[in-house]
Amino acid sequence: MPRDRTDARPRADTEETRRAILQAAHNLFMELGYRAVTTRMVAEASGVKQPLLYYHFADKETLYLEVHREQTAIARAALERIAARKGESIPERLYHVVHYLRQANRQNMGIFFHELRHEMSPQMRATLRELFLTSFVAPITSIFEDGIRTGFLRAPDRGGIEPRLATYMLLSTVSSLSASTEMAAELQVNHGTCLYKQDPVRAIIHVLLYGMATQPFTMPPCSQ
């Protein structure tokens, strides 16, 4: 749609503006959510007038999609790279995953799914869901699969859980960690006597791997 007009500015300028809009929209959508961000807020944050957004993007929903397309591509590359480091242990790879997720200012996963269900058109919903699965869920799941394969993690039929469920537990805990001031503040206070406990990320991974119970699990064996 852009650059088919006779009085168009040089390509660089137009591209630059488009990128400024995407960047501003990214920050605002992640901070406030789809509905709370107005097109006028995006325009002001990117230094243009509001109707210009509709020269670069068909509508607000499309702008939201383009933001996610760009960000998920970056996240996918980073997470697949971490997942592929077979030389590193499972805890190390998980730590790097969580570290990346926190550093990328992703919004809360619950809010993302909420927006998917309630604010997006059906085809947009399907596209965004696919982007999320490919870029976030798949790489992390492959780490858990690797853990089961190498015997570090229990297989689902040996008292373990499905890799996909493990991924969702990790993602939901970490995204709540970033989203809720309450939880984040709580974790900052935790200056325990143990080294890893000063780092909430390590504490969470520690629980997912080794649990909280004193004794190893005493559930009835699976092949009963």
Site for DNA in 29-58 (CB under 7 A): 37-41, 48-52, 54-55
Residues numbered 76-135 forming contacts with a second copy, rule: CB under 8 A: 108-111, 113-114, 117-119, 129, 132-133
| Phi, psi of 154, deg, nearest 5 | -70, 140
Q: Applying CB under 7 A, which of residues 61, 70, 162, 199 lies at the interface with DNA?
A: 61
Footprint on residues 173-212 left by a second copy (CB under 8 A): 173, 175-177, 179-183, 186-187, 190, 192-197, 200, 203-204, 206-212
Please report how close the Cβ of residue 129 comes to DNA at its closest, in angstroms: 20
Q: For the chain, state the CA radius of gyration.
A: 21
Q: Which does 61 bind (CB under 5 to 8 A by kind): a second copy, DNA, none?
A: DNA
Which of a second copy, DNA, none does residue 81 bind (CB under 5 to 8 Å by kind)?
none
- DSSP notation for 42-111: HHHHTTS-GGGHHHHSSSHHHHHHHHHHHHHHHHHHHHHHHHT-TTS-HHHHHHHHHHHHHHTTPPPHHH
With CB under 5 to 8 Å by kind, the binding choice for 37 among DNA, a second copy, none is DNA
Residue with Cβ nearer a second copy (65 or 171): 171
- CA 28 – CA 33 distance, rounded (Å): 7
Q: How many CB atoms lie within 10 A of CB 116?
A: 16
Query: CB of residue 32 vs DNA: minimum separation in angstroms?
Result: 11
Task: Dihedral sign for Cα 158, 159, 161, 166, please.
Answer: negative
DSSP state of 220: P
Instruction: Pick what 200 binds: a second copy, DNA, none; C-beta below 5 to 8 Å, kind-dependent.
Output: a second copy
The option from DNA, a second copy, none interacting with 49 (CB < 5 to 8 A, set by class) reads DNA
217 binds, among DNA, a second copy, none (CB under 5 to 8 A by kind): a second copy
Residue corresponding to tokens 């605002």: 28
What span, in angstroms and rounded, lies between the C-alpha atoms of 157 and 152?
A: 14
Sites of contact with DNA (CB under 7 A): 5, 9, 13-14, 17, 37-41, 48-52, 54-55, 59-61
